[in-house]
Amino acid sequence: MKIWVPLDSAAKALGADQVADAIAREAAARGLDVQIIRNGTRGMVWLEPLVEIDAGQGRVAFGPVTPADVPALLDGSLPCHGPVENIPFFGRQTRLTFARCGLIDPLDLDDYAAHGGLVGLRRAIGMSQVEIVQEVADSGLRGRGGAGFPTGIKWRTVSDAVADQKYIVCNADEGDSGTFADRMIMEGDPFTLIEGMAIAGLGVGATRGYVYMRSEYPDAIRVMEAAVVIARRRGVLGADVLGSGRAFDMQIRTGAGAYVCGEETSLLNSLEGKRGTVRAKPPLPALEGFLGKPTVVNNVISLATVPVIFEKGAQHYADFGLGRSRGTVTLQIAGNVRQGGLFETAFGMSLGEVVNDIGGGTLSGRPVKAVQVGGPLGAYMPVSKFDTPMGYEEFDQKGGLIGHAGLVVFDDSADMLQMARFAMEFCAVESCGKCTPCRIGAVRGVETIDRIAAGDPGAAALLTDLCETMKDGSLCALGGFTPYPVMSALTQFPDDFATHKEAAE
C-alpha cells in the first residue's frame, strides 16, 4: 500500500509531519506493508494535510487528516473524497505548469521522467538557439513574476548578446503576500524549474544559473538544494547536459530578508554580494546583468513553465488564454477565503468567479469587501469590479495589476484606511533607500494617512499628490506601485477614510 503525505510547507504548517509519523507508527503496529511517499501539495490548502492512499485501485484522497484520524484512515473507515480529480476545485483546473506537483515524489528523478519530465529538455537539445527562443516566443509566455514582459523577447536579447559568459538567474524571491506558487512548485516539483533553467541556458548560450531564494522559505531551500545535487549526479546538470555536449550548471543562493530583492536589479546586486539597492535601467539586465554579463532574469513560474511548452509544443500552450495573455495563470487564492490554494487555469476567468465560485467566498462567512490582487503592490479590487477577467491588459484597464496572480480576500471587517497605511509602512520598512520618492515618500505617506485618520480635511489631496510623485518618480515597482493599494483603498472605499474624518469632527 502506498500512502502520500505532502511535505509542502503549508501541509506541514497544518500538521502533515505529525500525520506521517502517526501513519508510520500505526502501520508498524499493525504489521502493514506501507510505503509513505512525501509528495508536494495538490494545492488545496483547506484540505491539508491531504493524504492519498493507493491500495491497488488508484489514489484516493482524504483530508484534512489529523493524527487522531490515522487508525480510521488505515481501517478504511475515514470518509474520503475519491480521486483528487473528483474534487471540483482540482477537477476544474488546467494543470500544465503544476501537472506533476503533488503527483510525484519531488526528489525522484525517475518518477519525474515517468510523468513527462525531461522530454522538453531532450527536444530543446535537438534545436538551435534561435529555434529554442522562437518556441518560447510562439508560446506567448509572459513573465509570471508580475511584470508580464514577453519571455521570448527577453531571451532573444540575451541570446543575441555577445559575451564570454552569460547567466540564467531565477527570481525565487517570492515576497508578495498572497503568493506561494513559487514555493509550492519548488517544494513539489523542483526538477521542472531545473529543467526550465537548463532549456533557458541552451536557448541563450548561458552555462551558469542561480536560483535566488528567500530565507523565509527554509523547506523550499532544502528541496531545491537536494534536487540540484541529484540533477548534477544524474547528468541533467553539468558539463554535458544529458549527453548533449553542452554545459549548464546552477547553484542555489539565499537572500537575507529584503523584500526589495524581488526586484530584478536589486536581486542581481544582492547576488553579487552588495546591498540590494535598485539599479537604474538601462542598461537592461539582459545586456548587463549579473557581474555585468548578459543575464536572463525570470520568475520561478515562468521558468518552470518552459518544460511543458517544449514537451507539448508552443502552440498547445498558446491555445489556452485570453487576448495577449496566453497559456495558464497559476492563481493563488488566499486570505479570508473558504477554499484557499493554488488554482491553475487558462487566463480569462473573472475575478468574481475565482473568489466566489472557486474560493467559495470568505472563510468568516461575511461578505467580501475587497480583494488585493498582485501582492502588496497590487490594487484593492472592490466587489463592483468582480467582472474583470484575469488577464494582464484586462486588469490594467481596471486600474489594477495581476502581478504574480495572488489574490488576498478581505471580508467587510477590513479597515481599508489601515490597509492603505500598512502599504506605506511596508514600503518604508522595505525601501532600499536609493530613490527619494520611495525612501521619504513612504514615511510621509504613513504620516499623511494618520492625518486623514485624525480628521485633517486637506490630507487626502496631499496623499493623492504624494502617490503621483511616488508613481512617476520612483526607480522601481516598490515605490512606483505602492500607490496602487493606497489609492485604490482611498478611491474605492472612501467611507473608510470619511468615517475617521467625521468621527474627529
Cα 432 to chain centroid, rounded: 22
Distance CA 496, CA 477 (A): 26
Cβ nearer to other proteins, comparing 199 with 342: 342
- Placement of cell 481596471 in the chain: 398
CA distance 180 to 186: 10
**Closer residue to other proteins in complex, CB, 296/314:** 296
- Minimum Å distance from CB 498 to other proteins? 22
Q: Pick from 50, 132, 271, 486 the residue near other proteins by CB under 8 A.
A: 271
Return the residue of 52, 174, 344, 496 that touches other proteins, per CB under 8 A: 174
With CB under 8 A as the contact rule, which of the stretches 24-32, 405-413, 458-466, 487-495 interacts with other proteins? 405-413
Q: Is the bond preceding 367 in cis, omega lying within 30 degrees of 0?
A: no
42 binds other proteins (CB under 8 A): no
Residue choice 45, 136, 202, 286 for contact with other proteins (CB under 8 A): 45
The answer to whether 355 and 371 are in contact (CB under 8 A) is yes
Distances (CA, A) of 176 to 159, 299, 374: 30, 13, 8
Q: Report the b/e string of 370-389 with b at 16+ CB within 10 A.
A: bbbbbbbbbbbbbbebbebb
Report if residue 481 touches other proteins, rule: CB under 8 A: no
Residue 438 CB partners (closer than 8 Å, separation 6+) = 427, 431, 432, 470, 474, 475, 476, 478, 479, 480, 482
The yes or no reply on residue 179 touching other proteins (CB under 8 A) is yes
Among 130, 155, 127, 131, residue whose Cα is nearest residue 143: 155
Site for other proteins in 227-256 (CB under 8 A): 251, 253-256
DSSP secondary-structure letter at 385? G
CB of 254 or CB of 436, closer to other proteins: 254
- Shortest separation between residue 254's beta carbon and other proteins, angstroms: 6
Under 8 Å CB-to-CB from 355, ≥6 apart: which residues?
Answer: 333, 337, 361, 368, 371, 386, 407, 409
Q: Is 216 helix (H, G, I), strand (E, B) or coil?
A: coil
Query: H helices of 205-276, where?
Result: 218-233, 264-271
Task: Map residues 335-374 to x or -, x wherever contact with other proteins holds by CB under 8 A.
Answer: xxx--xx---------------------xx-------x--
CB of 293 to other proteins, least distance (A): 10
User: What is the smallest separation between the CB atom of 7 and other proteins, expressed in angstroms?
Assistant: 11
Q: Which of 3, 7, 14, 161 binds other proteins (CB under 8 A)?
A: 14
Asked if 414 touches other proteins (CB under 8 A), the answer is yes
Residues within window 439-468 making contact with other proteins, judged by CB under 8 A: none
Q: How many chain residues touch other proteins (CB under 8 A)?
A: 66
491 binds other proteins (CB under 8 A): no
User: Contact between 270 and other proteins (CB under 8 A)?
Assistant: yes
Q: Which helix (H) or strand (E) holds 105?
A: none
Nine-digit cell string for 51: 493524504
**323 lines the binding site for other proteins (CB under 8 A):** no
**At 92, which amino acid appears?**
R
SS3 of residue 330 by DSSP:
strand
Of the pair 6, 321, the CB lying nearest other proteins is at 6
Q: Which of 196, 400, 406, 441 binds other proteins (CB under 8 A)?
A: 406
Residues of this chain, 274-303, that bind other proteins according to CB under 8 A:
274-277, 290-291
Question: Of these, 215, 315, 397, 499, which contacts other proteins (CB under 8 A)?
Answer: 215
Contacting residues toward other proteins, per CB under 8 A: 9-10, 12-14, 45-46, 48, 174-180, 182-183, 208, 215-220, 251, 253-259, 270-277, 290-291, 332-337, 340-341, 363-364, 372, 376, 406, 408-411, 414, 419, 422, 426, 429-430, 432
